[in-house]
Structure 1
């Protein structure tokens, strides 16, 4: 049993299964070593490797969002969203169009404001139009994300959906595709 306890101290962590609600972040130290090749200092450099696990704060998204119909840069597109749970929304909230596999909230191809003059109510379905000029010409697999300014986070994602290549793509060319500076 003493060996098991010794192994446990080598892999320290901030949380256990019993206190998951209290700690939404789990950090586990995998390795810890020092570099003994340094001879000048009495403080040897150390290296550690950690695993970071973030638990979901919500089981269901605060906002349900979906594209409507077929999307392509040949016509304006529609999306709908519904606030599922009450949260502190803002007129500065927006819905971004992201290529599947995006890394940060700022990787959007384009966006629309959620509302122009009033905030949505819980369970109210709202439809927004996305201008055809804000839709990528070459198409591909995309996702919509609702960004909450007050929570500084995406609080709802659509299922992945396909944007069809525009008929304008052959005429205007792929050099116009770099809407947000991401394809350089």
Structure 2
């Protein structure tokens, strides 16, 4: 009798996710009318999968905080209004006074994004005040641990040592609930950005201004405090950054592109930065360099400032990344779909199945959501809907149905055989 060996499950294919990171000290300003350039919506065929948006110095007066507690803050509402019609969903957010961190993702990625933690680390007034510090969202993305940190470090040229201390302090305070979450330095990817407030040493105001005017940025790199610290600090050395090929992003007169003309005349500086760190494979042979894990890589597509925005004394900075990974999780924990034909007047049934290791809870729920589509691109005009399964234990959406329609009863009629058929 011939035996047939069982087929091996297919290896998950490599995925490439495009991630757009935004950092901006908005100096208490309200959102402008148009942020298409900042969000790269004016570029064709960009095909972004995720947005990571971090703001600093949002308005945080008593009345603003009370209003934002009762309602969505104006910046979050703005980004949701712009990105929702494009198929993005707000995955998570965290706020600490003037700091705000938002993560948006395309619907198809939601079952593979698990939010593990969202926390704040104040460093102002000996760690009791949140005007400075960091906020962090820790998640699992297709099975990989990813930490995203938005920070606002101490200002002024002379406070460089304090900035480095706060950088270390924010990192040390990133402890996570649950025995299965590794230390942040063991996460597969850390994306760290914000108003880091590092300045340019030694050179005088006139020299810096002339170097910026003539775009001789390389003359200033050697005296950039963050670049100096990365050469000396063992931990900072593991963080990467793109080349600073754009003008310093601080300090500007508001509503202009002129550097500070006030009495203080602050030297221009690259205060607003985006860094990242990939986990490296352990090695036993000290003679060979550590190599990046072959199943996860991050490449920087663009790193720019956006001079057209003048509402703040800072210019926003963006980084667009391509994250290539081999999914460790390739099947949703929950599969669900509507049972039969859904109409507005009949009972609606849902068929769903779950994986054997799924931690179900009586507090789980299934929601029905309208799919937002851009009718200028898609001729379909009838409303479409999605079913989403939310896991209370995992604090994440773990299953999404395919889009479907709910038929009004008026659109149904009997065929000659007496069966009810939808009218397409």
TM-score by length of 2: 0.23
TM-score by length of 1: 0.49
Q: Who wins on radius of gyration, i.e. which is larger?
A: 2
Which has a greater percent of helix?
2
